[in-house]
Structure 1
Amino acid sequence: MQCNAENLQMYLDGELEFQARKSLETHLGQCRKCRQEMARLQLLWRELEQTEEKELPLELSFLGQQIIHQALSTRQKNMYSKAGYWEAQKLAWKPAIIGAGYLPGVTLLSAAGRAASNQLPRLKSGVFAMARKLIFPAQDKKGGA
């Protein structure tokens, strides 16, 4: 049997037929990579199954309104500053971001962010190389553009 993440997911969902289940269980006994992926999926399922609702602090709504009011009054004082609006938006969203920290599964987002940030330098260099090709196209040997 070949490694197949979709089969692992179907195994966890109970969608595999008897023979396919037995084949996958045998494969899991031999393949370390698939065992690790299965463990990761099982942890993910356990975390997502947690339906414990956390109660948000009562003052969160009040703090949000205070921050918006303060930011808007600051914006009116600095009428000619375009940064005032964006500062107000950043301040207004802070309570929501803090509140989101209480939601289950947020730890998965931070892990995904760390994984994505590891790939950013490679992506950035690729984008810059592509932009250079578009902005400064190679000239042909006769000197024409």
Structure 2
Amino acid sequence: MGKHKTHPKLEQALTRGDLAIRQANSVRATAVLQALGKMVVDASATIGVEASTSIPDGDRIYDPDGGVWPQALLISFDGPVEEADPDEIRKVFLMADTPSVVYRVEWQRADGKLGRHEARPFAMVAFLTDVEVPWSDDEE
């Protein structure tokens, strides 16, 4: 059996194109997490709570893993993320392969179990901050 040979320029073009697509999708996921972080910080400020956010290694290129983008938006309501108790930090992930923007938040519950909640942007901000958001995601 003969081995099918790919033209080197075609292979190079496809490889570069694939990397560019992966990078663009990863950058988009990080930007969508940053947008939620800004919403959380601004909403918290309306009730006098100072929220702090961080996306460690958000500039790396990721692929979805198990239906979730690996980048994590870290949220602290107890000072800067870097100085906060790890059990008090909420981790927010962007769900992949959903027709609309959906986030998953995970946190350490008081009973020692992992809490998990999924919601669209406005519902997630309301859930995280306890701020009453005057409209819902359904009105988009």
Common fold by TM > 0.5: no
Query: Which structure dedicates a bigger proportion of its chain to helix?
Result: 1
Q: Pick the structure with more strand per residue.
A: 2
How does the TM-score come out when normalised to structure 2?
Answer: 0.22
Query: Larger radius of gyration, structure 1 or 2?
Result: 1
In the superposition, the TM-score normalised over structure 1's length comes to 0.21
